Amino acid sequence: MKPLITGGSGILGKELRKYFPESLCPSHNELDITNSTLVSDYFSKNDFDMIIHTAAMTSIRQCESEKNLAWKTNVNGTKNMIKATSEFKPNCKFIYISTACVFDGHQGMYKESSIPYPENFYALTKLIGEQQIKNLKNYLIIRTNFVARKQWPYPKAFIDRFGTYLFADQVAFGVNDTLKEDTYGILHITGDKKLSMFELAKLTTPDIKPMTLEDYSGPNLTIDMTLDTEIWKKYDIEKNDL
């Protein structure tokens, strides 16, 4: 299997490359997903049999302050990928990496059949991407919530914001797992424990300091990002040898 991985230099992209050493992982200059002509040109000249689309603008603050760029990247970029797939690789499986943030975060434990309701512009662009993917014949939308297995990048973490988190290497394992079966449609790759961001951060950064949403100012956040699944297995975030 030789996939094209967009966002190959990102947190998840780097982990996926370990499972797919033969994959094509073009740089931004080689494949600018916001340029429809360049995307079509790349698809016409390169050989691959699957697409894993991880490239996206993911900063909630940046998406809110630079809406045009977020739309250009997350919505138009995905649309360009779909158009090229339909034209040049119509039989390719297209895996779209989405987010738990497509839900409003008021209840938690969202299933594949739960109704999305984005709280911010980032989540909106990802949900629109999901809708576009459904125009393809062979697609898999994976909603998940992950961080890199490394030092927490901030001095503090929320004690009152929750998720069924995984590390990026575990999500990559899960993506590879789905390829062993004929999975399609929408699927949640999720951990089996509800954790606060603070509890998550402590797994890699024991001296992390707590904070609450009262300490935060900025765009609306998805507070409870916990995912459930009606279709797939769950993974243990504290298990290293998946």
- pLDDT for position 182: 84
CA distance 120 to 220: 6
Map out the domains of the chain as residue ranges. Answer: 3-225
Assess whether pLDDT exceeds 70 at residue 116: yes
Q: Which of 121-125, 184-188, 236-240 has the lowest mean pLDDT?
A: 236-240
* Each residue's pLDDT tens digit, 46-89: 999 999 999 999 999 999 999 999 999 999 999 999 999 999 99
Strand partners, 98: 143
* Each residue's pLDDT tens digit, 176-204: 999 999 899 999 999 999 999 999 999 99
**Portion of the chain with pLDDT greater than 70, in percent:** 99
**What is the arithmetic mean of pLDDT over 146-165?**
97
Please state the pTM of the whole predicted model. Answer: 0.96
For 71-110, letters b (16+ CB in 10 Å) and e give: bbbbbbbbbbbbbbbeebbeebbbbbbbbbbbbbbeebeb
CA distance 29 to 27: 5
Output the CATH code of domain 3-225.
3.40.50.720
Q: In the structure encoding, which two tokens stand for residue 170, read together?
A: 């575990």
Assess whether pLDDT exceeds 70 at residue 7: yes
**Portion of the chain with pLDDT greater than 90, in percent:** 97
CA distance 79 to 98: 14
